[in-house]
Amino acid sequence: MRFWISLVAIAGGGALGGCASAPPAGANDLRELGALTNCYADGIDAIGAGKADAGADRWRQCFSEDVKFSLSFGSAFSMTCPGDKCPFPPSMNGLARRVALAKGTFERAGYVATSHHITSVAVEQPAADSAVVKGHLQAWHLRKDGTAVIGLGTWQVQASKGANGWRIVDETLESPLRVVVPKAE
C-alpha cells in the first residue's frame, strides 16, 4: 500500500509540475492580440510625423487590407468606411482609406507629431480565430505653432486570425473629448 501511495504522489507531482511549466492555452494569441494596440499606435504616430509610407507599412502588420472602420469625434465629425459618408472611392482598399484619412486629417489640422496610447486593454477571444480588443485612447497631437490637442476616447477592434496571424478587420474609434493646450511660454 505504501508503494502505491508513493507512486501516485510521484506520478501526480510530475504531472502537475509539467502542467505548471506549460503556457496556458491561448497565451500566444493573447500576447499577439495585445500587440495590435502597439502596431496601431506605431503606425498612426508615423503618419502623424509625416511618414505615411512608414505608417502604412507598419499597419500592414496588423490591419487587414479590407479593414472597415468607424470613427466618431463627438458631434463634430463621424465617418464609416465603407459607407455613405466615406469620402474615398470604392476602388481603394480599406487600409489605403484608413491611411489616407489619418494623413489628410493630420495635414489639415497642422499636426507635426502625434503620440497615441491605448490603456486598460481588454481582450475577448470567443473563438480560436476571432477576437475583440478594446481599450481607452489617449492621443496627443502637436501643431506647428506649439499648441497641443489632446483627444480622449475608446478604441475597439474586431480581429481575425489567418495565415499571416492576427489582423484588425473592423475598427471603432470614439473620441468625444478634445482639449487644446496652448503653447507653453
Residue-wise burial string across 100-110, b where 16 or more C-beta atoms lie within 10 A, e elsewhere: bbbbebbeeee
Q: What is the model's pTM?
A: 0.83
- Residue 21 is predicted with a pLDDT of 38
Average pLDDT, the chain: 87
Contacts of residue 173, Cβ cutoff 8 Å, sequence gap at least 6: 69, 70, 71, 72, 137, 153, 154, 155, 156
Q: Does residue 48 form part of some domain?
A: yes
Q: Does residue 17 form part of some domain?
A: no
Q: List the domain range (segments joined by +) for residue 69.
A: 28-181
Helix (H) or strand (E) holding 3, with range, is: helix 2-21
45-104 pLDDT per residue, tens? 999 999 999 999 999 999 999 999 999 998 888 999 999 889 999 999 999 999 999 999
- The label of the residue with cell 496571424 reads 165
- Residue 75 is predicted with a pLDDT of 87
- The label of the residue with cell 509625416 reads 50
Handedness of CA 63, 67, 72, 76 (dihedral sign): positive
- Residue 27 is predicted with a pLDDT of 83
Whether the per-residue pLDDT at 8 is higher than 90: the answer is no
Whether the per-residue pLDDT at 36 is higher than 60: the answer is yes
134-176 pLDDT per residue, tens? 999 999 999 999 999 999 999 999 999 999 999 999 999 999 9
* C-alpha closest to that of 158 among 63, 35, 28: 63
For residue 125, what are the CA distances in angstroms to 119, 130, 171? Answer: 18, 6, 16
Q: Does residue 96 form part of some domain?
A: yes
End-to-end CA distance of the chain: 84
Q: Does residue 42 form part of some domain?
A: yes
**How many structural domains comprise the chain?**
1
Whether the per-residue pLDDT at 25 is higher than 70: the answer is no
87 strand-pairing partners: none
Q: Does residue 8 form part of some domain?
A: no
- Residue 174 is predicted with a pLDDT of 97
Domain of 137, CATH number, reads 3.10.450.50
Q: Does residue 134 form part of some domain?
A: yes
Q: Does residue 170 form part of some domain?
A: yes
Roughly what angle, to the nearest 10 degrees, separates helices 27-48 and 94-109?
A: 40
User: Is pLDDT larger for residue 67 or for residue 7?
Assistant: 67
Q: Does residue 16 form part of some domain?
A: no
